[in-house]
């Protein structure tokens, strides 16, 4: 392994001088996971079960549910092209809209939820009668007890990203690295993750799209610093992404969890501890109620790895029944999952090719920049910086804390963000040599304009549209929901494509039945066996 890590400029120079390494940067692997609430024509959360026409939520490869029966999740296959991933996502949207038309429901086009009733009116997702299905549902019941069901109705987009084996082989050779191949890849994915956590406030400023929410979301009396937009809407005047703040995916209990990203071993050990050590507040909930019904999977800080809310995760496809951290321990990091993407209500699918291209550029920048281990309070400073940009990102006077790698203790956010975007330009120029035109330089310039003019950010555009149209949050998003319904239903799938989707749905239902008929273990024993993996 090199004694001293390359600088960013040295890495770009090395790539420029090695055509094989450069060309391998055109072979990025990507996948998209997009969540959307099903809602009624009046903008209320759907109370219907997962539509049978969409197949089995347990076994369908492209359409499942997240927390609630009413919270759909669309999953694309892994694709090498941006257009390929978006094309898959679009086809799934068209099929779903066609099926939902039969029950007069639409998809909510925002990250913050529609009008919500009582907690009991948010139905937990069900997956059938098998042990794996029961475990998935109990996990969600536990989330409701721990954080409240309302928080679980927040939607988002996840972006799965990896580089090709050809890239990693060339990169390792040129760095004169003699480690095992999987170890080398894993270390550099964690390198990328640490820098992503340093720089993610920039992404949230540029693409955050949840500055407001419906009053019904706050009926639980949660403390907040929001302002009243109108009788039915609360908002942050300078907020970018309430989804990523204290009202979104966060909890006081999780603030006690320190997950270390300095190495795979550190990451696994810190997660394992959170999954196996009891937490008093959750012990008070109890594992089961008086009727012997499970209230949660365990009484630890985390039930499973997925409960830890993070902007980015290292991932590996696990075998059936295998714990995610054991899959990582077995073969290292396979890809990373970006989890801080808001649904943009101005886009038919909530995300477009420009945002994906910027994500690719941003993630590669995180990989090629030096990424020292987090020391001292770096992790906490990253968290505080993100919270500041979530709540006050469009405040031109906003200052953020510098990290141990910076020279100044405090810096203006806009100056810091401008430096990052300027620093990405040579990489954008390099990537553009692999494509027709200048897509990466063009998308970079568009983001630079958002720093100069906050009115170009999605968060400000949402507030401006609500203001100019005299609409509440719910009214504006309801209007957008119907607009995108017309968009997708106006151009139906071909008969062939429709038949393919219907066949997938039917096949998933058959697979669920096979799983259920093969179950021969009591659930208590199944759950005990599962947690043995963490001991």
Helices (H) and strands (E) in the chain, counts: 17, 12
Contact 351, 327 (CB under 8 A): no
β-bridge partners, 335: 315
Q: CA 8 to CA 14: how far, in whole Å?
A: 10
Contact 258, 246 (CB under 8 A): no
135 closest CA partner among 242, 216, 58, 47 = 58
Which residues in 125-200 belong to E strands, given as ranges? 157-162
Q: CA 31 to CA 336: how far, in whole Å?
A: 10
Question: Can you tell me whether residue 6 is helix, strand or coil?
Answer: coil
Regarding beta strands 71-75 and 410-412, do their DSSP bridges make them parallel or antiparallel, or are they unpaired? unpaired
β-bridge partners, 281: none
Contact 107, 100 (CB under 8 A): yes
Q: CA 269 to CA 384: how far, in whole Å?
A: 24
Contact 378, 403 (CB under 8 A): yes
CA 42 to chain centre: 28
pLDDT in tens, the chain (535 residues): 445 789 999 999 999 999 999 999 999 999 999 999 999 999 999 999 999 999 999 999 999 999 999 999 999 999 999 999 999 999 999 999 999 998 999 999 999 999 999 999 999 999 999 999 999 999 999 999 999 999 999 999 999 999 999 999 999 999 999 999 999 999 999 999 999 999 999 999 999 999 999 999 997 777 789 999 999 999 999 999 999 998 876 566 677 788 999 999 999 999 999 999 999 999 999 999 999 999 999 999 999 999 999 999 999 999 988 999 999 999 999 999 999 999 999 999 999 999 999 999 999 999 999 999 998 889 899 999 999 999 999 999 999 998 877 766 778 999 999 999 999 999 999 999 999 999 999 999 999 999 999 999 999 999 999 999 999 999 999 999 999 999 999 988 999 999 999 999 999 999 999 999 999 999 999 999 999 999 8
| Cα–Cα–Cα angle for 204, 208, 210, rounded to 5 degrees | 140
Identify the pLDDT of residue 61: 98
- Residue 418 in tokens: 């401008």
Q: CA 52 to CA 102: how far, in whole Å?
A: 12
- Residue 337 in tokens: 């999952």
462 closest CA partner among 306, 291, 166, 235 = 235
Identify the pLDDT of residue 535: 85
pTM for the model stands at 0.97
Question: How many residues comprise the chain?
Answer: 535
Contact 457, 208 (CB under 8 A): yes
**What DSSP element (H or E) covers 411?**
strand 410-412
Domains defined along the chain, listed by start: 8-532 (3.30.590.20)
Q: How many angstroms separate the Cα of 296 from the Cα of each of 108, 289, 304, 474?
A: 28, 10, 11, 32
Q: CA 187 to CA 183: how far, in whole Å?
A: 6
Contact 427, 19 (CB under 8 A): no
Q: CA 184 to CA 333: how far, in whole Å?
A: 10
Q: Give every CB contact of residue 98 below 8 A, 6+ residues apart in sequence.
A: 488, 489, 492, 493, 498
Decide: residue 252, CB within 10 A, 0-12 exposed, 13-18 middle, 19+ buried: exposed
């Amino acid at each position: 392994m090199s004694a001293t890590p390359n600088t960013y400029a040295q890495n770009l120079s090395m790539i420029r001088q090695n055509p094989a390494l450069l060309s391998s940067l055109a072979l990025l692997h990507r996948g998209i996971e997009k969540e959307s609430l099903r809602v009624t024509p009046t903008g209320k959360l759907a109370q219907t079960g997962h539509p049978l026409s969409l197949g089995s939520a347990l076994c369908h490869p492209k359409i499942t549910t997240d927390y609630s029966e009413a919270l759909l999740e669309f999953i694309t296959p892994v694709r090498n092209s941006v257009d390929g991933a978006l094309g898959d996502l679009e086809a799934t949207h068209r099929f779903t809209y066609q099926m939902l038309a039969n029950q007069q429901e639409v998809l909510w086009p925002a990250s913050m939820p529609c009008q919500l009733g009582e907690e009991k009116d948010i139905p937990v997702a069900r997956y059938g009668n098998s042990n794996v299905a029961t475990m998935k549902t109990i996990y969600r019941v536990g989330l409701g007890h721990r954080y409240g069901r309302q928080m679980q109705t927040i939607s988002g987009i996840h972006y799965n990203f990896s580089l090709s084996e050809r890239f990693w082989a060339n990169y390792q050779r040129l760095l004169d690295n003699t480690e095992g191949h999987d170890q080398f890849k894993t270390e550099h994915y964690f390198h990328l993750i640490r820098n992503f956590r340093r720089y993610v406030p920039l992404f949230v400023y540029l693409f955050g799209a949840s500055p407001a929410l419906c009053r019904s979301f706050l009926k639980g009396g949660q403390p907040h610093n929001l302002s009243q937009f109108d009788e039915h809407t609360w908002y942050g005047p300078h907020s970018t992404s309430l989804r990523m703040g204290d009202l979104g995916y966060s909890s006081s209990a999780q603030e006690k969890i320190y997950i270390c990203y300095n190495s795979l071993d550190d990451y696994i050990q810190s997660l394992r501890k959170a999954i196996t050590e009891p937490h008093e507040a959750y012990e008070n909930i109890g594992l089961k109620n008086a009727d012997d019904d499970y209230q949660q999977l365990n009484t630890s800080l985390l039930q499973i790895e997925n409960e830890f809310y993070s902007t980015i995760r290292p991932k590996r496809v696990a075998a059936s029944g295998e714990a995610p951290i054991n899959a990582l321990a077995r073969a290292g990091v396979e890809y990373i999952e970006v989890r801080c993407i808001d649904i943009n209500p101005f886009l038919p699918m909530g995300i477009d090719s420009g945002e994906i291209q910027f994500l690719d550029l941003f993630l590669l920048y995180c990989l090629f920049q030096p990424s020292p281990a987090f020391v001292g309070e770096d992790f906490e400073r990253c968290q505080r910086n993100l919270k500041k940009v979530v709540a006050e990102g469009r405040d031109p006077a906003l200052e953020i804390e510098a990290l141990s790698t910076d020279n100044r203790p405090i810096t203006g956010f806009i100056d810091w963000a401008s430096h990052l975007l300027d620093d990405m330009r040579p990489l954008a120029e390099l990537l553009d040599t692999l494509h027709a035109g200048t897509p990466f330089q063009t998308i970079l310039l568009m983001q630079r304009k958002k720093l100069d003019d906050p009115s170009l950010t999605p968060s400000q555009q949402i507030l401006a549209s609500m203001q100019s149209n005299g609409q509440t949050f719910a009214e504006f998003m309801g209007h957008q929901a119907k607009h995108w319904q017309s968009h997708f239903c106006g151009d139906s799938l071909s008969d062939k494509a429709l038949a393919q989707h219907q066949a997938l749905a039917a096949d998933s239902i058959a697979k669920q039945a096979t799983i259920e008929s093969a179950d021969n273990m009591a659930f208590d024993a199944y759950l005990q066996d599962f947690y043995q993996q963490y001991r």
